[in-house]
Structure 1
Amino acid sequence: MSKILILPGDGIGIEIVAQAVKVIDSLNRNHAMEMTLVNGLLGGAAYDETGSPFPDETIRIAKECDSILLGAVGGPKWESLERSLRPERGLLGIRSELELFSNLRPAILYPQLASASSLKNEIVSGLDLMIVRELVGGIYFGEPRGVEIKNGERFGVNSATYYESEIARIGHSAFQIAQKRNGRVCSVDKANVLEVSELWRDVMEEVSKEYSDVKLSHLYVDNAAMQLVRDPKQFDVMVTSNLFGDVLSDCAAMLTGSIGMLPSASLDKNNFGMYEPIHGSAPDIAGKDIANPLATILSVSMMLRYSLNQAELAEKIDSAVSDVLDQGYRTKDIAGDSQKVVGTEEMGDLVVKALES
């Protein structure tokens, strides 16, 4: 029996998580998974109800669960709040509190969506890469930070900081994933100008000595961004810092045709994980039944694979999504001229039907 914390969050998070829950319910009915779902609050919804984007009750429940499924947080409604109360602080807070340091962001192009990619088919066809992003360190958490008056004008500062132990553990995560894939890790940094990146590169080299079956290479982040759009299939696993990983993973997402197709996992050292689509809360389309729920459904697949040790059921979900795409069904964001456009709820129902057929 597994206990899963459901955090719908804000915007389209409520709609897309509801479709993923349908998939979980189907697995419970048909595969005796006995996954117990517990609902919680995070982000703007949590602030509205409790005055905090990351309530104590949420972290208490999270520590009692086996994994977490998250929708999305944020929206213009809360932008006027002081920074510590904004929805995004809840997301950063839960990652930090639970030490979810390893963020896995796959970029996989379903063959049915090759025409939706912004790149030529021959460049992206067969794309399957994994970006491993360090998630609880770096410039998003480093001190000192803030805005102050200095020399008579406003002065802003953020600090990119890493201990070698933080770099080593994300390195081990990336190398171990590469061992299960094609045995190649590309570490991305900016060691030519940043001292913290010099340390990053040194530690990655040290960690690589423990993995003789994995080949390590290095790229500066600007070159890595260029290579992602020039020849993305050259990569197997990319490992990088929090900031660089944030940017590169969204870049890689668009190679696949839509950011609405890509799940993610954030893991601790014991593979406890929080699973979420990589897109945002999209408040402009919330409540309109047009959001793509497939990334959230595929996040359930990742949860089964990485935290619940149910790889076979994960494959069933992946196959169900592929079957629905084969049938020509698309949400608006991935639809071409000849495809059948369906809404959020219908797409969820179609995946469940394929899963149970």
Structure 2
Amino acid sequence: MEYNIALIKGDGIGPEISDETVKILKTIGKLYNHRFNIKEVIGAGEAVDKYGEPLPENSLKTCLESDAIIIGNIGGKKWASVSIDKNPVKSLLDLRKALNLSTNLRPITVNKNLMELSPLKENIISEGIDILVVRDLLGSVICGEKKYELGLYGREASDLEYYNEEIIKKSGKIAFELALKRRSKVACIDKSNVLSSSRLWKEIIKEESINYPKVILTNHLVDAAAMEVISAPYLFDVIVTSNMFGDILADELSQITGTACMLPSAEINEDGKGIFTPNQLHNPDETIIGKNKANPIGLISSAALMLKYSFDLEEESQLIEKAIDKVIEKGYRTEDIYTEGNTIIKTDEMGNLISDYIIEIFEQNKRLKK
């Protein structure tokens, strides 16, 4: 099979982790006779510096013509004070709009060999974490009408919180469909005791649940849920929530794993086409840029999500995840996840090891099938 992928390496550690992700895709391509046509395009901060805009027209055109988009890293302190139209993050916002991306998928898991990195107590983290956050991308104050003006009491501002049935149903359907492939539980998180938009959200999700009698639906107010995901994260399976609540909760959950750098993210439309990035798309540690120290696992895992959701290559996706688990099991660590008794390796070495274990596991499976 042949697939076209647009690659925005981006800023900071983006080029380094992107190179390792391309390495993994090339390995998968050779083993399964897939052809991944990866075309690098300029975007984010690099594009701002060179062309004065985060996503030049030619880059957008290439992304729209591709089957999927991979982004390594966006932004940094250098662009912290620039206006939104010149901010690197606008490249992501423009792509979301152009591709009509409706839903963000954020898998939150903790590796059994890295549980000691979690800030949670052992009796909580030992139960494990395996949550899929399904976050809307079309509504909320993030996408609503914005005002910033001079009023009766000086400067004033507002952001419209807007939702409709169609927007909510898109993420709701995806949440229930994915729950059927997991543990058949969906937690709807809102603020329906105060917000009209949340009352609508809760109503539509409940109506959608009728189509999925095998899935158990529970409702949680967002403030209570923010505590529950810390005190008992193992009780959650799929979380479906609004744009802003999902943005905050997914970041909270990624931090309680202690390995946010290893988690992936997918932003998809109803056809499965989308943008695939590391969970930490704006990596905060700029001291490691260009030093071959960055952890590439988050972006590599995102490539696995791309194979699964955009290309329907489930076996290939699982093979990547198994290889990552094997590397961690053998004690190899980049600096950010290092603990005493393990082996520190560089960015490119991590990519090489994951590639090697992909080949090893593939060959083992091949022998077992004979």
TM-score bracket for this pair, using the shorter chain length: over 0.9
* Secondary structure of the structure 2 residue equivalent to 1:111: coil
1:57-93, CA deviations, whole angstroms, 9 ceiling, x for partnerless residues? 1221112111111112111212232222111111111
Deviations 1:177-231 (A, max 9, x none): 1011111100111111111111111111111111111111111111111001100
**How high is the TM-score relative to the length of structure 1?**
0.97
2:352 paired residue number = 349
Q: Work out whether residues 101 and 266 of structure 1, in 8 Å CA contact, stay in contact via their aligned partners in 2.
A: yes
* Partner residue, 2:14: 13
Percent of matched pairs sharing the same residue:
36
**In structure 1, the residue corresponding to 2:193 is in which secondary structure?**
coil
Residues 291-300 or 75-84, more deviating: 75-84
Return the alpha-carbon distance in structure 1 between the equivalents of residues 232 and 157 of structure 2: 37
Residues 12-62 of structure 1 show CA distances to partners (whole Å, capped at 9, x for unaligned) of 111111110110111122221111101112211121222211222122111
Task: For 1:55, give the aligned amino acid.
Answer: P
Structure 2 length as normaliser, TM-score? 0.93
Q: 1:320 to 1:104 in 2, by over 3 A?
A: same
Letter paired with 1:293: P
State which of 136, 139, 143 in structure 2 corresponds to 1:141: 143
SS at match of 1:303: helix
The CA distance in 2 between the partners of 1:36 and 1:6, in whole Å, is 10
The separation in 1 between residues aligned to 2:293 and 2:88, in whole angstroms, is 23
Match of 1:287 among 287, 290, 297: 290
Q: Which moved more, 1:93-102 or 1:277-286?
A: 277-286
Give, in angstroms, the shift of residue 122 of structure 1: 3.2
The question of 1:49 aligning with 2:50 is answered yes
Partner of 1:90: 91
Residue matched to 2:326: 323
Please give the per-residue CA displacement for 1:144-195, whole angstroms capped at 9, x wherever unaligned. x132211242212112111221011110110111011111100111111111
- Let me know the Cα RMSD of the aligned residues: 1.3
In structure 2, C-alpha distance between the alignment counterparts of 1:27 and 1:130, rounded to whole Å: 25
**Map 1:335-346 → 2, pairs under 5 A:** 335-346=338-349
Aligned with 1:53: secondary structure? coil
Unaligned runs of 5+ in 2: 361-370
Equivalent residue number for residue 303 of structure 1: 306
Letter in 2 for 1:347: M
Uncovered stretches (5+) of structure 1, i.e. residues with no partner = none
Q: Which residue of 1 aligns with 2:171?
A: 170
Give the deviation of 1:346 after TM superposition.
1.4
| Count of residue pairs the alignment pairs up | 356
Contact 1:12 1:72 in 2 (8 A): yes
How much does 1:334 deviate?
1.1
The residue type equivalent to 1:135 in the other structure is L
Matches within 5 A, 1:60-99: 60-99=61-100
Pick which of 115-124 and 206-215 moved more. 115-124
Q: For residue 106 of structure 1, what is the aligned residue in structure 2?
A: 107
Moved more, 152-161 or 95-104: 152-161
Q: Which amino acid aligns with 2:100?
A: E
